Chains A and B, each alone.
Chain A
Amino acid sequence: MARVRKTGDWLSAQVGDGLVMMSPEQGNYLGISGVGTRIWELLDTTDDVEAICDALREEYAVSPDQCRADVDAFLAKLDAQGAITYLTGASD
């Protein structure tokens, strides 16, 4: 079971319907929009990837497999930017 946690000292700001983030320590910038913004929000309430998928499926019309695949892809991007770490079960 995959568990993830936000890491780093990211600053964030709402621009339009998206979120812009910066890590002063790494000098990295990151833009998140659409469902990504919601996932980022949900990461404040849970570290369980399955729980995030469940929450999203209640809000969006999406198949469980598609949802999981999209969430995993998005989390992999956040991981590559150093915005999250996998506590357990990183899928490659």
Chain B
Amino acid sequence: MFSYNISSLVVDCEIELPGRLAATSNRPAEITIRSAIVPEALDAPIAVAPTWEMTRDQFLLRVPGVARFLVVGDDTILFDAAATATPADLAIFLAGSVFGVLLHLRGYVVLHASAVRVGACAILFCGASGAGKSTIAAALANRGYPVVTDDICAVTIDPVPIVHPDGRQLKLWREAIDALAMSDKAREAVRPSIRKYYVEPPAADRTPMPIGAIYALREPRPPAVIGIQQLPPAVAAAKLHENAYRPRLVDRLGQAGLYFAAATRIASDAGVYHLTRRRDFASMEQVLRSLERHWDAIGLGGRPA
């Protein structure tokens, strides 16, 4: 068994999860991941989609050519690997899509976001797949800001919104690794078949911390203009739901109210903003400078040494 600390949960996993930092806690495991025979379909599902189905206490996800994954209750993940799957294939889907579903099932506020620490707070960058979340977090890590999460960001509200670090490496496309001059930190490919790689962050933070600000990434398509714009609370609430890791699952699980409560709390305590910028690497330096100015303006100190 390999042991990991993911989103403040101690996870025992039968296979090694590359890109995951090993657990430091001695608590007993809260989640177990192991190989087992997983059925093609579930009996009496309450929701069915082309790749997944759900009953009251089980959730089945089929990734063709990789595995069938079954979440049982809220503490066990079973996987049934396809003949063609490599350990890396299993690991990336277990740690990403499947663990994301588990966090949703456990009632976390799960955001599609990457985050770094500024001062004592987590700064989140959210957006759809391909929006540039990981790239901006990597660029900030290069400047000395510790990485907190990549792609999936688990938040609890108790009563302050707290981010739970995912304890994982960054995942970057070859293009981004080259542009950010991080080849020396690049590790193996996340899957043998795609050109996205685990990247060791120059610095990482693994302690839970409050949210300092959330930025929703977008490009300056009219009428949006380049800059940082604070969202009015109602828009912030809609934006947070839209940037749930899996919005459809939030609705299916009847958690829309939970995200609303989280959003209004975050809008009060931290602030939700649009970060409107060009997605090209040439603009990155300018984007980072405008972020640092913004953190000064909203009182988030802690420029790294």
Chain A in direct contact with chain B (Cβ < 8 angstroms): yes
A-B pair number, CB within 8 angstroms: 43
Complex partner residue of A18 from B233, B238, B257, CB under 8 angstroms: B233
Q: Is the Cβ of A29 less than 8 Å from the Cβ of B234?
A: yes
Interface extent on A, as a size class? 10 to 19
A30 within 8 A of B: yes
16 A-B pairs whose Cβ atoms sit less than 8 Å apart in the complex: A11-B261, A13-B260, A13-B264, A13-B265, A14-B264, A20-B234, A20-B237, A20-B267, A22-B256, A22-B257, A24-B256, A24-B257, A27-B256, A30-B234, A31-B232, A31-B234
**Number of residues from B at the complex interface, CB < 8 A:** 18
Nearest CB in chain A to that of B267: its residue: A15
A34 within 8 A of B: no
Please give the distance in Å from A37's CB to the nearest CB on chain B: 12
Residues in B lying within 8 Å of A, measured CB to CB? 232-235, 237-238, 241, 251, 254, 256-257, 260-261, 263-265, 267-268
Nearest CB in chain B to that of A32: its residue: B234
Q: Is the Cβ of B260 less than 8 Å from the Cβ of A11?
A: yes
Task: Tell me the bound Cα distance from A18 to B237 in angstroms.
Answer: 13
Complex partner residue of A20 from B251, B254, B256, B264, CB under 8 angstroms: B264
Which A residues touch B237, using CB under 8 A?
20, 22, 29
Which B residues touch A27, using CB under 8 A?
241, 251, 256
A21 within 8 A of B: yes
Q: Is the Cβ of B233 less than 8 Å from the Cβ of A15?
A: yes
Complex partner residue of A15 from B238, B254, B264, CB under 8 angstroms: B264
A16 within 8 A of B: yes
Which B residues touch A16, using CB under 8 A?
233, 268
